[in-house]
């Protein structure tokens, strides 16, 4: 398989679920702005003024992209992980969190200081809704938060976000959507879905690394102490007569954005949001679904391949597909795809250990770790292979992948 055509290396990066290549449009926007960036909210100079304006415009663009409602805040963070940890840090005292054990660790783990109800892996979307309904019914009144993924980073399957939201709200609970894998593939609107918060990462949404978003209701954000204490978050700081310090914190998104903001990160996310909105999700979804069908048909031709699925073969999914190959060590398989065919996929447990172990026929509490030694041929796999793609994936990359697996 030629990796070099006309002098150009054509490595097939099929690991969009980890990080998607930034769109050319985003690189162009960032390159045009790069010579002019300055510190945000911190300077009288022209570059600082320009950067402050672009930073706040970027916030407005993201709010638009996410269909924010009146009063919603958009906080720029480092990533989805950072966004969910921020929300975990502002939970009202005594909040109980409900989370499926199938979640990515970024959604599963930040709630350490809260009371957490872990829900077992559902085998249908309806079972997920019923299981949440039961857990909420049995729980005591008080602040409650449901955290759920929009699309699985393991199976690509879509979760019943509307139904889960309706269930949560009927019981007076709130819901945060981990849209890390959903937002790059489907429109995500706070107003339409009704979720209370959305979290996503720029580097999966075709922007470069370093920035993410938490958007949604402002009350819990404003009622809590800042996530980080420091400049930018504080409006007024004064020494008290008793020797201490009084601080008045901002009540805007700046409250949780202490320190010099990542203006290039915010600007690149906004650029990606604009590019996706202009391209329109209809055509993106149509093309991506054609690639999903092609990959699944290609994998189905190989009897040794087993595709991992929680909700069954017909469940709607984004361009994220995990599988194991009988008789193959998944890590060796992924390494061979890279070394011999120039295809980059991911192997392992995908930061969703309980889910992947369950899908591989084990139990969610089975010991094991990322990068653990693989099973010998004939034994049950302990690791899987994940191929993922999206906007801008060339057909040739997908064809190369299918041919290589075959």
The binding site for ligand PMP (CB under 6 A) comprises 17, 79-81, 104, 106-107, 149, 153, 178, 180-181, 201, 351
Q: Give me the least distance between CB of 255 and ligand PMP, in Å please.
A: 21
Q: Give me the least distance between CB of 108 and ligand PMP, in Å please.
A: 9
Residue 61 or 80: the one with the smaller Cβ distance to ligand PMP is: 80
Residue 149 or 271: the one with the smaller Cβ distance to ligand PMP is: 149
Count the Cβ atoms, other than its own, within 10 Å of residue 214.
26
Q: Give me the least distance between CB of 172 and ligand PMP, in Å please.
A: 26
Q: Give me the least distance between CB of 320 and ligand PMP, in Å please.
A: 8
Q: Give me the least distance between CB of 104 and ligand PMP, in Å please.
A: 4
Residue 231 or 371: the one with the smaller Cβ distance to ligand PMP is: 371
- Name the active-site residue from 68, 147, 273, 351: 351
Q: Give me the least distance between CB of 356 and ligand PMP, in Å please.
A: 12
273 included as an active-site residue:
no
Residue 151 or 254: the one with the smaller Cβ distance to ligand PMP is: 151
Active site residues: 351
């Amino acid at each position: 398989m030629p990796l070099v055509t006309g002098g150009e290396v054509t490595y097939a990066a099929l690991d969009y679920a980890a990080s998607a290549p930034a769109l050319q449009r985003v690189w162009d926007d960032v390159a045009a702005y790069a010579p002019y960036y300055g510190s945000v909210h911190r300077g009288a100079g022209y570059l600082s003024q320009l950067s402050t304006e672009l930073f706040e415009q970027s916030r407005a663009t993201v709010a638009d992209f996410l269909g924010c409602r009146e009063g919603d805040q958009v906080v720029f963070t480092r990533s989805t992980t950072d966004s969910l940890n921020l929300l975990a840090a502002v939970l009202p005292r005594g909040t109980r969190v409900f989370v499926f054990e199938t979640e990515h660790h970024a959604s599963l783990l930040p709630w350490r200081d809260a009371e957490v109800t872990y829900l077992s892996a559902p085998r249908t979307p309806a079972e997920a809704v019923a299981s949440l309904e039961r857990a909420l019914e049995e729980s005591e009144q008080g602040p409650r938060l449901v955290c759920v993924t929009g699309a699985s980073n393991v199976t690509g399957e879509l979760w019943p976000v509307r139904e889960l939201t309706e269930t949560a709200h009927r019981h007076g609970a709130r819901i945060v959507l981990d849209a890390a894998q959903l937002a790059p593939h489907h429109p995500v609107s706070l107003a339409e879905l009704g979720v209370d918060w959305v979290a996503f990462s720029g580097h999966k949404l075709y922007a470069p690394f370093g920035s993410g978003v938490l958007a949604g209701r402002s009350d819990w954000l404003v009622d809590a102490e800042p996530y980080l204490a420091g400049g930018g978050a504080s409006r007024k700081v004064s020494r008290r007569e008793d020797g201490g310090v009084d601080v008045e914190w901002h009540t805007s998104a700046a409250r949780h954005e202490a320190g010099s903001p990542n203006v290039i990160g915010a600007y690149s996310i906004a650029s990606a949001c604009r590019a996706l909105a202009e391209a329109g999700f209809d055509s993106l979804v149509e093309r991506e679904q054609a690639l999903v069908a092609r990959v699944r048909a290609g994998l189905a031709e190989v009897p040794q391949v087993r595709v991992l699925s929680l909700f069954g073969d017909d469940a709607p999914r984004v361009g994220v597909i995990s599988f194991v190959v009988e008789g193959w060590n998944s890590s060796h398989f992924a390494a061979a795809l890279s070394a011999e065919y120039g295809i980059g996929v991911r192997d392992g447990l995908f930061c969703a250990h309980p889910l992947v172990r369950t899908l591989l026929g084990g139990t969610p509490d089975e010991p094991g770790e990322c990068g653990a030694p693989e099973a010998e041929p004939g034994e049950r796999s302990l690791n899987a292979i994940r191929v993922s793609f999206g906007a801008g994936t060339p057909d040739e990359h997908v064809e190369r992948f299918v041919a290589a697996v075959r």
